[in-house]
Amino acid sequence: MKILGIETSCDETGVAIYDDANGLLANQLYSQIKLHADYGGVVPELASRDHIRKTVPLIQAALKEANVVPADIAGVAYTAGPGLIGALMVGASIGRSLAYAWNVPAIAVHHMEGHLLAPMLESNPPEFPFVALLVSGGHTQLISVTGIGQYELIGESIDDAAGEAFDKTAKLLGLDYPGGAKLSKLAEQGNGARFHFPRPMTDRPGLDFSFSGLKTAAANIIHQHSDNHIIDAQTKADIARAFEDALVDTLVIKSRRALDQTGFKNLVIAGGVSANQTLRNRLTELMHQRKGQVYYPRLEFCTDNGAMIAYAGMIHLKAKQYSDLAINVRPRWPLSELNAS
């Protein structure tokens, strides 16, 4: 049984075809980074228009890559939220229309469930139960996962998400958009002992995050060490290193607490920030110490992609959880509202 997955929640157009017997057959992705770079961030209207231009050609390319025809497709999955409403409407409209034309079920997929299940695409998938750390530009969440559809939110950011804090701090350092990965690369050249930033909300109980104060601390240091808005290269690297260390430490501390609270032995990390090598190394060390296991998606599946939507859609297709003819998207959609399959 094969399913087509469509992802258009923000600034990447992803289309994939997944087969429940043979795995991923096709994975097409188009990034809008160059389109939004001049604006220093995603422009929703431009994102929507670009999805309109790219989605159908990518579907055609995916069908060709997988060597299948529409008659081979058993269902169409699309991201219904959360995300930018205009961008979501593009994928939902195309996905729902194709499903109607091909006379197959349509499946509305939660974007963050797609990220959470992305490690299931690997040859060594995690077993339930596990704690999931979802870290991206729009979300930082800790989820207790006891099965498909059985998700309990146990911690989240009360302000900026981790990826958002990375990008905003990178912009303060004068790095080009998207700056998170560039900041991490710059941090490799930094002296970790020169500056020390706070580890927000780690001095009190609980699993929630807050990164806006960390970004403000970085802004203050940048201001103190700049001369007429110019800062030397080594100081930039040292600030980047201190910022990354503080953010990663915070994520590791909260993940440890979540594992203590749940008693689970497995940890999943997914979302764009899960590609950060420092974070991966620290969490690997943490789980080695705890005699547990950490699971990641491959790098290409850390950012938004159609493969994770196709996989999540296949699970819901098998459970006969279909969407009706109405085209509904939810820019805000708590993961906890998903029903168990």
Q: Which residue is listed with tokens 């110490």? A: 289
137 known ligand binder: yes
How would you write 155-166 as a 3-class SS string?
EEECCCCHHHHH
Q: Is 115 annotated as a binding residue?
A: yes
- Residue 272 is given by DSSP the state G
| 180 annotated binding-site participant | yes
38 among the known binding-site residues? no
Give the separation between CA 16 and CA 5, rounded to whole angstroms: 5
Is 260 annotated as a binding-site member? no
Query: Is 252 annotated as ligand-binding?
Result: no
44-53 burial code (b ≥16 CB/10 A, e <16):
eebbbebbbe
Q: Are 313 and 107 in contact (CB under 8 A)?
A: yes
User: Using an 8 Å Cβ cutoff, are 239 and 218 in contact?
Assistant: yes
276 annotated ligand-binding residue: yes
Rounded distance between C-alpha atoms, residue 227 and residue 223, angstroms: 8
Q: How many helices (H) and strands (E) does the chain have?
A: 10, 10
Beta bridge partners of 268: 132, 295
Q: Which helix (H) or strand (E) holds 28?
A: strand 23-31
14 is in an annotated binding site: no
**Whole-angstrom Cα distance, residue 165 to residue 178?**
12
- Residue 316, marked binder: no
Q: Was 95 annotated as part of a binding site?
A: no
Tell me which residue has tokens 């006379």.
103
Residue spans of alpha helices (H) in 19-67 = 33-37, 44-66
Is 226 labeled as ligand-binding? no
Tokens of 231: 């800062």
Beta bridge partners of 79: 109
Annotated binding site: which residue ranges? Answer: 111, 115, 134-138, 167, 180, 276, 304
Annotated binding site for Fe cation: which residue ranges? Answer: 111, 115, 304
Annotated binding site for substrate: which residue ranges? Answer: 134-138, 167, 180, 276
